[in-house]
A and B are shown apart, each in its own frame.
Chain A
Amino acid sequence: MLQVVDLAISFGGVAAVKGVSLSVGAGEFVGLIGPNGAGKTTLLRLMTGVLRPDRGQVQFADQDITAMTVDERARRGFVMTHQIVRPFRQMTLLENATLAAGHALTRQPWLALWRTDARAAQARAQHELERVGIADAAHKLASQVPLGYLKRLQVAMALALDPRFVMLDEPLAGLNYHEAERFSNLLIELHQQGLGLLLVEHNLGEVLRVAQRLVVIDSGAVLADGVPQEVMAQPEVRRAYLGEAHA
């Protein structure tokens, strides 16, 4: 479903991502891990369109999306969540989700002008909030709910977009042990319901528990790609994470 071919980018002479290729099949749950500064977030930003690569291609559902903007990708079902949550702070959780749920209505600005009915979108938004477990705070302002709720709001909004694939950038950052566990259980559920997921994460424990497949990035290149247990046993991977002594 997602094909990344030889993606590369440099910032001021430093190669942050050096010719990365990977693929994720429809409905797969892949974890993208790597030590600090390995280039995970840069790679993610390249895949989602926040950054333009110096070379390489990103293909989604057999379409070349390399030149598309973030919103064009989202409209094609290729959705992301941010590492630093940024909800619309002056709107309630329900209003946030409603805006995402109304994506079919907001696709075309000049058509959106003539549409005022928000009931279907609100119902869908409510449904997604319930699905991720934050419906109790639906009418609270986004600026007034805890981080765990905002993280799950992001997922709710991503779901409201009818995605074919969701990329999550370190969603567990800032969550405590219980919240992180609850969140990754949610991801497992969504995966079981057929959603394809790419999870960039630092929290190794949870990733190992939930991902079907693991891709390890170090110094801007793919170090390993396979089933979690096998990948973590590889000496290069262990060296990258834990240093020479543990290789």
Chain B
Amino acid sequence: MDYYLSVATFAALHIILAVGLNLVMGFCGQVSLGHAAFYGVGAYASAMLSVAGWPFPVAMLGGMLAAGLLGVITGLAALRFREDFLAIATMAIGFIFVGTARKLAWLGGEMGISKIPSPLSKHEYAWLAMAAAVLLIIFSLHVRRSWMGRAFSGVAQDEVQAQTIGIDIAGYKIAAFFLATASAGFAGGLYAHMTQLIVPDAFGFVVSISILAMVVIGGVGSTLGVATGAVVLTLLPEVFRIINDYKLLVYGGMLLGVMMFSPQGLAGLLSQCVQAMRRRKEAA
């Protein structure tokens, strides 16, 4: 039972991370290859607050705000950089975070932060994570339908044209990054308190790529697709135990395969099927 609970909790955390990344990449068109850094900032900030004696809600909020702050700074950088530059810049932020966490003594160095107080039971973490995941999915669907979502899609398709019709691209990009990173920070806080030990390597480039994989395989831009991708990629190594040894090979292969054959991911495949069925119905 404990095991299933743990898997479910991680699936929920990954949903939060992937749906958040989708907000910034899928909706607003800003490439981010360093999402794990925000996960990490949330984890570290909330862990340090908890270890210092602050109550759980405060620590969680602190984690979200710290991650959100770094997100706003990243958003400001996004204003200066074009697409390819932004990809590398976000990747750089990821490496800087890990590199700094590894060395700075007050961040725990290579050993990280341990003995993080854990105020909730395994069940409670699971429920909290799942509730948060569901809330974020609903929120993301709402954003898509709102005028913020419309403006995002303008920014994603053509920034210059968006500016011409009065859209404050700076404000929207920063908003996108804040929403994505604050939610990643929340996930980080949960992760830290649940596992009670965090180390820098848990938030490295490979983790950023894993989250990217969930978004891309699920279908960039589709909230439900991305959430599905997160669940699938969390369950995959658990369901096929042998895969664990070949995890990266499978991940990489899936990324490559999806890009080559269905760049819109699972969501794209689904919508193509639906369209094909519709066409057949009309022809009949």
Do A's and B's CB atoms come within 8 Å in the complex? yes
Q: Mark A15-48, 1 if CB is under 8 A from B, else 0.
A: 0000000000000000000000000000000000
CB-defined contacts of B164 to chain A, threshold 8 Å: 70-71, 74, 79-82, 157
- Bound-state CA distance A99–B165 (Å) is 8
CB-defined contacts of B124 to chain A, threshold 8 Å: none
Given A113-B148, A116-B146, A99–B154 Cβ distance below 8 Å? yes
CB-defined contacts of A81 to chain B, threshold 8 Å: 164
- Bound-state CA distance A110–B143 (Å) is 11
Given A88-B154, A109-B175, A75–B146 Cβ distance below 8 Å? no
Q: Give the size category of A's interface with B.
A: 35 or more
**Chain A's nearest CB lies how many Å from the CB of B51?**
33
Contact call A107/B150, Cβ cutoff below 8 A: no
Give the residue of A103, A114, A116 whose beta carbon is less than 8 angstroms from that of B166: A103
Residue of A with least CB distance to B144: A116
Contact call B163/A71, Cβ cutoff below 8 A: yes
Residue of B with least CB distance to A77: B166
**Chain B's nearest CB lies how many Å from the CB of A150?**
12
- Report if A211 contacts B (CB, 8 A): no
- Bound-state CA distance A89–B147 (Å) is 19
Q: Mark B254-281, 1 if CB is under 8 A from A, else 0.
A: 0000000000000000000000000000
- Report if A115 contacts B (CB, 8 A): yes
CB-defined contacts of A71 to chain B, threshold 8 Å: 162-164, 166-169
- Report if A90 contacts B (CB, 8 A): yes
**Chain A's nearest CB lies how many Å from the CB of B79?**
10
CB-defined contacts of B157 to chain A, threshold 8 Å: 88-91
Inter-chain contact total with CB atoms closer than 8 Å: 94
Contact call B163/A74, Cβ cutoff below 8 A: yes
Q: Give the size category of B's interface with A.
A: 20 to 34
**Chain B's nearest CB lies how many Å from the CB of A104?**
9
Given A71-B169, A99-B154, A112–B148 Cβ distance below 8 Å? yes
Contact call A161/B166, Cβ cutoff below 8 A: yes
- CB within 8 Å of A: which of B65-89? none
CB-defined contacts of A89 to chain B, threshold 8 Å: 157-158
- CB within 8 Å of B: which of A54-78? 69-72, 74-75
- CB within 8 Å of A: which of B3-28? none
CB-defined contacts of B172 to chain A, threshold 8 Å: 109
Residue of B with least CB distance to A100: B165
- CB within 8 Å of A: which of B138-177? 142-143, 145-148, 150-151, 153-154, 157-158, 160-172, 174-175
Residue of B with least CB distance to A114: B146
Contact call B147/A112, Cβ cutoff below 8 A: yes
- CB within 8 Å of A: which of B97-147? 142-143, 145-147
CB-defined contacts of A107 to chain B, threshold 8 Å: 166, 168
Give the 7 A-B residue pairs with the shortest CB-CB distance, closest first.
A74-B166, A112-B147, A70-B163, A113-B148, A112-B148, A100-B165, A71-B163
- Write 28 A-B pairs (CB below 8 A) sorted by A numbering: A71-B164, A71-B167, A72-B168, A74-B166, A82-B161, A82-B164, A88-B154, A89-B157, A89-B158, A91-B157, A99-B151, A99-B165, A99-B167, A103-B166, A106-B148, A106-B167, A109-B148, A109-B168, A109-B174, A109-B175, A110-B175, A112-B147, A112-B150, A116-B146, A118-B150, A157-B165, A161-B165, A161-B166
* 15 extra interface residue pairs, beta carbon distance < 8 Å, beyond A81-B164, A106-B148, A112-B148: A69-B163, A70-B164, A71-B167, A71-B169, A72-B168, A82-B161, A86-B158, A91-B153, A99-B151, A102-B150, A106-B166, A106-B167, A109-B151, A109-B172, A112-B150
